[in-house]
Chains A and B, each alone.
Chain A
Amino acid sequence: MADLTLDTQGVSCPLPILKAKKALADLESGQTLEVLASDPGSVKDFEAFCRTTGHRLLEQAASGETFRFVIERVG
């Protein structure tokens, strides 16, 4: 169970990333954020976001039109 869930379904790039960044800033190091998105571009975007910022992408899954990511805050 993630510490916080962020639903960005219905909004387009770059809002899912911007909102996730903001949500992660409110978490402690080690806590997790679950992000729900409907933007297909978000799959590659969250991978790139995690690679660049150092936060860990623990899970990613797609079911129907919803994409789900679980990100662990690092640092």
Chain B
Amino acid sequence: MADGVQANEKSMSIIVTKGTLDWAYPPFILATTAAAMDVKVTMFFTFYGVSLLKKDLDLSVTTLGNSAMEMPMMGGHMKMPNIMGIMPGMTALTSKMMKGMIKKKGVASIEELREGAQLGDVRLIACQMAMDLFEYDKTDLIDGLEFAGAATYMETALKADLNLYI
């Protein structure tokens, strides 16, 4: 069978289009969990998703435009007003707070999940077009990547049991 998929093996593809800290979690959690459950996984990183493949990750998250964001504070949940998100330094502060929460609650870091994905033989494809568009160089990104376009993704997706767009 093509793509190294065994006869009984399930396969999954994920298109990763976002590069913020919060949006980095769903694709990597799903990919690593699927790989742990013997699913053959392909992740196609395009647009802002390419930044999740950088050697040095410095992911951020903003409260701006995120009206669903409620931070656990003082026993309750506090909504983050947009006006606060505009203030200088707020993105850095929010990102730092979020990373602190993640570490405290024993949630894996994106670096750990990404490493887990590679160890789990998840196929990582970087969209060549997005790399050209945002002027990323291969040397900016981690090793072990394939570089391809939409048709490569399409071929994998057409055969996969599960296709996700994140």
Verify A49–B108 contact, CB threshold 8 A: no
Q: Give the docked Cα–Cα distance between A63 and B166 (Å).
A: 37
User: Which residues of A have CB within 8 Å of B13?
Assistant: none
Chain A CB within 8 A of B77 CB = no
Q: Give the docked Cα–Cα distance between A11 and B106 (Å).
A: 4
Nearest A residue to B116 via CB reads A18
Verify A12–B32 contact, CB threshold 8 A: no
Chain A CB within 8 A of B2 CB = no
Nearest B residue to A38 via CB reads B106
Verify B37–A13 contact, CB threshold 8 A: no
User: Which residues of A have CB within 8 Å of B112?
Assistant: 15
Verify B37–A49 contact, CB threshold 8 A: yes
User: Which residues of B have CB within 8 Å of A15?
Assistant: 106, 108, 112
B61 CB, nearest partner CB in chain A, Å: 18
User: Which residues of A have CB within 8 Å of B119?
Assistant: 22
Q: Give the docked Cα–Cα distance between A12 and B38 (Å).
A: 20
User: Which residues of A have CB within 8 Å of B37?
Assistant: 17, 21, 48-49, 52-53
Nearest B residue to A14 via CB reads B33
Verify B36–A21 contact, CB threshold 8 A: yes
Verify A14–B36 contact, CB threshold 8 A: yes
Q: Give the docked Cα–Cα distance between A18 and B120 (Å).
A: 9
Verify A12–B107 contact, CB threshold 8 A: yes
Verify A14–B38 contact, CB threshold 8 A: no
Q: Give the docked Cα–Cα distance between A52 and B108 (Å).
A: 23
Q: Give the docked Cα–Cα distance between A34 and B12 (Å).
A: 29
Among residues 14 to 40 in chain A, which have CB atoms less than 8 Å away from a CB atom of chain B? 14-15, 17-18, 20-22
Verify B36–A11 contact, CB threshold 8 A: no
Residues in A lying within 8 Å of B, measured CB to CB: 10-15, 17-18, 20-22, 48-49, 52-53
22 A-B contacts (beta carbon < 8 Å): A10-B106, A11-B108, A12-B105, A12-B107, A13-B33, A14-B33, A14-B36, A14-B108, A14-B113, A15-B108, A17-B33, A17-B37, A18-B33, A18-B36, A18-B116, A18-B120, A21-B120, A48-B37, A52-B37, A52-B38, A53-B37, A53-B38
